[in-house]
Amino acid sequence: MVDYYQILGVKRHASASEVKTAYRRLARQRHPDVNGGTDQSAREFALIALAYRTLSDPQERAYYDAQRERIMSSGASVLHSDNPHARRMRRVAAQARWDRAVDRWIEAERTETFARTQAVFTTVSLFLSTFFVAMLKPRLWQSFDYVGRAVLITLFLIGLWHLAIRLRASFERYTYQPKAIQDSIINGPKEEPAKPFTRFTASAFLVVGYATSLAAGLFVGSHVHYILLFNEIPYLFGRNIRLDLLFYPPIAVLIVDTMHTVASKID
């Protein structure tokens, strides 16, 4: 049986904070990104991650300790036998556990990378599209007939729904709601949150980023209309702020995210 305590370099009765500290130290030293990204480094780090995930969960740790004690107290166990078949079984079982751990770690990393990329793409697309729409003030609504306007409204509604879904998923994955002071006093000190941002911080970043992009676009647009020769193409770009400008950022986010998803599926 793999000794998770030995892998993390902690004692049998190590506290949760000691387990976390040991894992973070090993993660900095043994992560595949700092060890050439080889299969061997990935397997070693996957085993470290599996050890931490088991020992950091009270129920998983209790079950692991019970199994460990049962096996260690069984002198006749095949795991302690010197029989060649027993040794081969131990190697096969250990290799299978390592392979499963590596597969789970790689899949978790792939899922996390894709989710993080989606959050970044959605946010950046919203800010950039807001900036360029505020700067250029496209006149697509005025250029379209009734069919074109119906298509534009449909895309806007789909884009708005898509944007809300993506932002909600990002908030659920990366933000948390801090406990009130009363809860901290009653329930004791707060544990370190697993998610990096509070709801307020993420919301403030989104609002401030959107407002900044809008203000920057309006400011730049008011100073470069001569350079862009707006007078030469008045049917494409305008100078006035109009209500239909709200349609374009969600549509741009929808298009960019769709292209990113398709490219990711192809890869």
Question: DSSP string spanning 91-128?
Answer: HHHHHHHHHHHHHHHHHHHHHHHHHHHHHHHHHHHHHH
Residue 185's pLDDT is what? 47
- pLDDT per position as a tens digit, 25-76: 888 888 777 777 677 777 788 888 888 888 888 888 888 888 777 776 654 4
Residues 6+ apart with CB under 8 A from 240: 137
Pairing label, strands 175-176, 197-198:
parallel
CB-based contact 102:50 (threshold 8 Å):
no
* Confidence at residue 79, expressed as pLDDT on a 0 to 100 scale: 47
The pTM for the full model equals 0.59
pLDDT (average), residues 144-159: 93
Say which residues have a Cβ less than 8 Å from residue 94's Cβ, sequence separation at least 6: 2
Query: Within 13 Å, how many C-alpha atoms sit on residue 147's CB side?
Result: 0
Q: Rounded CA gap, 63 and 67, in Å? A: 6
Q: Residue 240 carries which DSSP code?
A: S
Q: Which CATH superfamily is domain 4-108 in?
A: DnaJ domain (1.10.287.110)
The three-class DSSP label of residue 258 is helix
Helices (H), the chain: 4-8, 16-30, 39-56, 58-73, 84-136, 140-143, 146-174, 181-187, 199-224, 248-266
Residue 215 burial (CB count, 10 A): 13
> What is the reported pLDDT for 40?
75
At 190-239, the pLDDT tens digits run 544 567 888 999 999 999 999 999 999 988 888 765 555 555 555 567 77
CB 176 within 8 A of CB 199: yes
pLDDT at position 113, please?
78
pLDDT of residue 184 exceeding 50:
no
**pLDDT recorded at residue 230:** 54
Give the pLDDT score at 97: 67
Residues of the chain within CATH 1.10.287.110 domain(s) are 4-108
